[in-house]
Chain A
């Protein structure tokens, strides 16, 4: 999943980028409202982690502006203002979740997964597609009842395909979902991941639609 982090504190921002990447997300990070607007307009993120106190304005104002303009991306507010009234104000403005600083990286990851799951209209963290079972909370995958060991990138590619099961997902869509801005993407990186996935699942599960992209079959 691709996440946008809006946080002005450099150390925390770097920590969020690294920590969420370890959770399997592709993360872009900006430090102020202006860059956050540009980033959100340029790409459809799966979720946004938004700090309230930003150098050029309030994260709450930014969120209000997004919601007024119809942006529906799930937003998790991340702030040191932990009073109930602050939380209520944030949620009323349009935030989908609220996490006070300092926080547990695991909890942040779980909350983001829950937000994205709800946004996809799913209730459970476990997705079953034929013989394939994907548990997003534990990041465990089984195929025909056998555990499959996937790398972070392989899991991310499978997750992107699983969210659009039966539909074609282009290579660039997969790249956008699994790589952040500052990550170098090899020209055949996606093909390599798909190849490895086919080897660990079976060759039929992921279909190549020539010249268009890839499709996860409902078998």
Chain B
């Protein structure tokens, strides 16, 4: 059963969205830090400039009275946060000479020239203190920390909110875009899904994106291979039908002759031919079943089987055939103990077909010998063998050679070959004593 996996669209979207979010987050973090630093610097510069500006207004020469209140011009650096900027002017003796609206009466800073931070009545202040070199007056200009934080927060909010909205919009666009980008996949899927099983024409789904071209090419190639396979099966079926119908036609013809004729000799002859035809048809059916079984077992792994055991079974099963042709079956001691990398059924089928072939196509009153050789075993008969040019033909199902006048189904060698493991081969060799069919391991 196929494991359910997320859709390709979702996977692509999540990958792109994750990558985009990561990059956007990094960029946003860098922007926040950078913006905060820049704002702090700008605000500090504003404090310094405001203090310098107040100092330049000439308060050094003003009358120094403790109660005196000076109305300082409000520095207009940032209009929105203008009122948050507070200023104090202190004398050398530590008297408050003036202060701006909203500024506390306590010193904004107790440190010397430069920037400092201080809590006054629970309010945090960042202050720049300017000490006038001539008069010793100290001019303090400060912002509340809360204002500064608010300023930074407002600024960042102005950056982050559009970014988040943009991210959301990007997500939607990505989802739609990935979906549209995958439309050729949906088109190809629909084209395949709408096909009838017997339709093995090439896919007509042009234009195909470059990335999907190898996939469609492989699908087309698969269709071609399946079509070739089916053609082979059709040819095999047609041949099997022919091979089955021909002896049946012979059966029927002789049955009609037997029914029509009053001549006992004619009837007897027809009945004998019917018997031969039935035997041949039965052999053909058995071989077709063997072939079908071999095709079904093709996926199973290698086995191990004793040649001697297979020999005994074959000798028992072919006894009528051997007796009819007066053929003696022998096996050497070495061959009897030979173990072959085949399952017992496959070895039995291969051996039976080779022996049956030798018995039927070889001479009568002869010996069919089974022996062991270095890489396997052989079946030797006293016949004239097979012409080298005919061997490939005879390994195909239902193939017969014109030179062979003997009756055969044309399946024996094909079945023997199909019964062998992929790393085994069927070979043929003329020897002094006759002709050998060899089953050899390729290793």
Number of interface residues of A (CB under 8 A): 27
Residues of chain B lying within 8 A (CB to CB) of residue A79: 242
- Is the beta-carbon distance between B401 and A101 smaller than 8 angstroms? no
**CB of B284 to closest CB in A, whole Å:** 12
Say if the beta carbon of A9 comes within 8 Å of chain B: yes
Q: Are B247 and A18 in contact (CB under 8 A)?
A: no
Interface code B219-255, partner A: CB below 8 Å = 1, 0 otherwise? 0000000000000000000100111111111111110
Cross-chain contact B273 with A14 (CB below 8 angstroms): yes
Q: Does A163 lie at the interface of the complex (its beta carbon under 8 Å from any beta carbon of B)?
A: no
CB A207 to nearest CB in B, in angstroms, measures 34
Contacts of B254 in A (CB 8 A): 11, 14-15, 18
Whether, in the assembled complex, A130 has its beta carbon less than 8 Å from a beta carbon of chain B, the answer is: no
| Residue B25 at the chain A interface, CB threshold 8 Å | no
Query: Is A53 close to B, CB under 8 A?
Result: yes
Identify which of residues 29-76 in chain A touch chain B, using a CB-to-CB cut-off of 8 Å: 31-32, 34, 53, 55-56
Listed stretches A102-110, A116-124, A186-194; interface member: A102-110
Q: Give the nearest-CB partner of A55 in chain B.
A: B402
Check if B257 sits within 8 Å of A102, measured CB to CB.
no
User: Are A103 and B261 closer than 8 Å at their CB atoms?
Assistant: no
The reply to whether B273 and A101 form a contact with Cβ atoms under 8 Å apart is no
Indicate the member of B248, B250, B270, B276 with the most A CB atoms within 10 Å: B250
Contact bitstring A167-202, B, C-beta under 8 A = 1, else 0: 000000000000000000000000000000000000
- When distances are taken between beta carbons in the complex, the residues of chain B under 8 Å from A53 are 242
Check if B312 is an interface residue, CB within 8 A of chain A.
no
A130 to chain B, nearest CB (A): 32
Contacts A19-B256, A80-B245: A11 and B280 contacting too (C-beta < 8 A)? yes
Q: Which of A14, A34, A81, A104 contacts B256 (CB 8 A)?
A: A104
- B248–A101 touching, CB < 8 Å: yes
B407 contacts partner chain A, Cβ-Cβ < 8 Å: yes
How far apart sit A11 and B272, CA to CA, in the bound complex (Å)? 10
Query: Taking A11-B247, A11-B280 as contacts, is the C-beta distance between A19 and B242 under 8 angstroms?
Result: no
A22→B262 CA distance, assembly (Å): 11
Q: Please indicate the chain A residues that have their CB under 8 angstroms from the CB of B346 in the complex.
A: none
Q: Give the docked Cα–Cα distance between A12 and B257 (Å).
A: 12
What residue of chain B has the Cβ atom nearest to residue A7's Cβ?
B246
- Interface flags for B275-295 (1: CB within 8 Å of A; 0: not) read 011001000000000000000
For residue B147, give the distance in angstroms from its CB to the closest CB of chain A: 95
Partner of B249, one of A8, A34, A55, A101: A101
Minimal Cβ-Cβ distance residue in B for A106: B256
Indicate if the CB atoms of A12 and B241 lie closer than 8 Å: no
* B247 neighbours in A (Cβ, 8 Å): 9, 11-12
Q: Are A22 and B257 in contact (CB under 8 A)?
A: yes
User: Given the complex of chains A and B, what is the CA–CA distance between A19 and B248 in angstroms?
Assistant: 15
Complex Cα–Cα for A10 and B256 (A)? 17
Contact with B along A86-126 (1 / 0, CB 8 A): 00000000000000111111100000000000000000000
Most buried by A among B248, B254, B407: B254
Most buried by A among B243, B247, B257, B266: B257
Chain A residues near B244: list those with CB within 8 A.
80
Residue numbers of B with Cβ under 8 A of A are 238, 241-254, 256-257, 260-261, 266, 269-270, 273, 276-277, 280, 400-402, 404-405, 407
Q: Rank and list the top 9 A-B pairs by shortest CB-CB distance, nearest first.
A: A15-B253, A80-B245, A56-B402, A80-B242, A102-B249, A11-B250, A12-B250, A101-B249, A55-B402
Sampled A-B contacts (15; CB under 8 Å): A9-B247, A10-B407, A11-B250, A11-B277, A14-B254, A16-B253, A18-B254, A18-B266, A19-B253, A34-B402, A80-B242, A102-B249, A102-B251, A105-B253, A105-B260
